[in-house]
Structure 1
């Protein structure tokens, strides 16, 4: 932990981490709030699902695009524009009386305009710390984001059930605006300029490392989404058990990220970390009791944040600085598609064989991830003793001092 204390003492690091976590906090609230609001207004979970699907499609499509825009128009301009549009769309969903097509349109707009904070901050990190500190910083970032997935659903559910779904959406708009402003106005954001990429849009996916990170992210988040569906199916929406088990899952990820963040990343790091996830998820099929699921999902969680840290570090070390934001955008899109696929597969299996089907799906996603990491091990860079900062572009890039 001493290494993390030293890391957080670096100028601007603690501030930028806190600001980006606040700005991204609505990511853990919006889907649930939209689901509850549209279902309440229309009386149909099917209608709510259509709106959520539109929002997810918009976010998946726009992620690489808005991330690339930051190299064209600047980080602050893109984040300000997308934040303003997203807040307006959330307010429209909350306050305007409309039929289902209207909700779908504004859901699509809200998803499409989701601010690319994640791509921005991971592009900024290499300018904040030394190359020795960058891998632990990526690990700390991947670990602390679990706070979003632990607290945000609890907060929004409490507000929606006690005050109503309209106040819940208004709260999201307030946090989105306030957290976004904090991040955008942070000095570190203003001091970093991403050079305009000279390559065509999408060409960064031709890099094996970026493609591997996108595929592995798809499989890892697909496994997590299947597990979430299985936990809810096993314990229902109303009891405390589902929330507690999912919280333990996230706590395991937080613990794993903090524990493994200092370990150098070799070619086999991804395979080993995904193997922990696969073993933990395979154990869930033995019993669906609260205690057994909690223990097995804690084990699985230990590998999640460390695996994400490998994705971020290997991407950073393998692309030019001008391409990092777009690369992270594609990785985010892969994760969003994985979440949709994992939820869909789990849903079909829950209908067919019961809640255990979702855990079978989660384990299968994770096992395939291990197979990909093992068979493509030569495609993963060996970062031990290497500088994991992005490859410099030919034009000079301002560095924070």
Structure 2
């Protein structure tokens, strides 16, 4: 998709002052519709007019016209390509760590415990890292945070390589929790650039969700290939290199980095009479995070149950392909969803999307009862088609319900809820596989998680 868009001719933007001219060492985020950096400290970026995407060419618009329109804005292709480089390791690191530790120590239990520790540490540290990004800017925080995370990955690699005690593996992988939310930073840039254009923001969020699905579809495949074809530590080494390179290139794109909201003494945003309430206490955000928690449980349980089902039917090597089909269905639906111009209220659309996801998630349970992996593959492809629209609409609601100066924190809280759900779903899926009547019955867990997500979404709608 990126290569195709890069090959398209760029239409020059409308005459007028460029929205990307000038930058400051203190640039950060502002939510769509939020105020630009006005009245900030000396040397801070001044007010910037909203971006006006390039006018469309006359004639019949193409199918991908909405995507060409957002990528016609100067600087968007550069930061997107850099962010994709930094985001790909998110689907590689955990798989690489499991393969590396299990191969060297001969224990999948140890490998799983180490990665679970890193997941828990990320859930705790991630929101604090995002808050620092909001306060001080992407470039000033993301680069050192990424450097610390890369050092943790390299420390894990060396400890495994040289037979260090087990506790060093836990400590090293916990250090990777400072990895910034690269997807959230990219969404924050789109939200700032198109703060006065909801249709463009919808298209950009749809593209970002499709990019997430692509990275989590290709990442494990690339990690497995590197660890098996080269050497066990290759996946971790390449993932760390890609992460550092991508974040450095992303941070260098200062022209599209949103400005930091000016803050008075004591940390209160300038112009406010009282400190803003924490994002989690915003009206309607907590039930929304509950929906993300249940959605994460769908992902976590689906992965474990699918691997167990494939192993039970003697096609364990096809487990990755089955999961890739679910991600492919989600990514394709996300791109198509970005071409639409939804007219209904976001809360109504979110409830409809979660309802569709709950209905489609019944298909794998029905397909597993047939005992045919081919039927299950088709069911997983169909089940994934409601995931991306749900995530796109949900992330849009998070943006609208997060304070102006805390957008990265709000987006990272959503990711943290997803991670917590993935951990809980993995445990529930593993229990179901062991205690229910066969691995196929385990697909009742993601179906139940989808039903809980629907209940939480309805709660979100009524609370708002």
Give TM-score, length-normalised by structure 1.
0.89
For structure 1, list consecutive stretches of 5 or more residues without a partner in the other structure: 381-401
**1:340 corresponds to 2:434:** no
Deviation at 1:292, TM superposition (A): 1.8
8 Å CA contact retained: 2:361, 2:446? yes
In structure 2, the partner of 1:277 is: 357
Of 176, 186, 200, 1:121 maps to 186
- How far apart, CA to CA, are the structure 2 residues paired with 1:367 and 1:190? 38
> Against the structure 1 CA distance between its residues 180 and 300, is the aligned structure 2 distance closer, same or farther, given a 3 Å change threshold?
same
In structure 2, the partner of 1:35 is: 98
Deviation at 1:173, TM superposition (A): 1.5
CA deviation string 1:283-332 (max 9, x = no partner): 21123222222222222211111111112211222333202111112111
> Aligned-residue CA RMSD in angstroms?
2.0
SS where residue 10 of structure 1 aligns? Answer: coil
- How far apart, CA to CA, are the structure 2 residues paired with 1:56 and 1:127? 29
**1:158 corresponds to 2:228:** no
> Against the structure 1 CA distance between its residues 10 and 286, is the aligned structure 2 distance closer, same or farther, given a 3 Å change threshold?
same
- How far apart, CA to CA, are the structure 2 residues paired with 1:191 and 1:378? 33
8 Å CA contact retained: 2:360, 2:386? no
**1:175 corresponds to 2:242:** yes
Deviation at 1:200, TM superposition (A): 6.9
8 Å CA contact retained: 1:346, 1:358? yes
8 Å CA contact retained: 1:17, 1:141? no
CA deviation string 1:206-242 (max 9, x = no partner): 1133223311111112112111111111113974421
Equivalenced residue count is: 379
The structure richer in helix per residue is 1
1:280-295 to 2 correspondence within 5 Å?
Answer: 280-288=360-368, 289-295=372-378
**1:361 corresponds to 2:426:** no
In structure 1, the partner of 2:158 is: 95
For structure 2, list consecutive stretches of 5 or more residues without a partner in the other structure: 1-63, 269-273
**1:242 corresponds to 2:319:** yes
In structure 1, the partner of 2:335 is: 258
**1:139 corresponds to 2:206:** yes
Larger Rg: 2
In structure 2, the partner of 1:374 is: 458
CA deviation string 1:341-388 (max 9, x = no partner): 0100000011112322331100000011112222432345xxxxxxxx
8 Å CA contact retained: 2:288, 2:394? yes
Range that drifts further, 119-128 or 196-205: 196-205
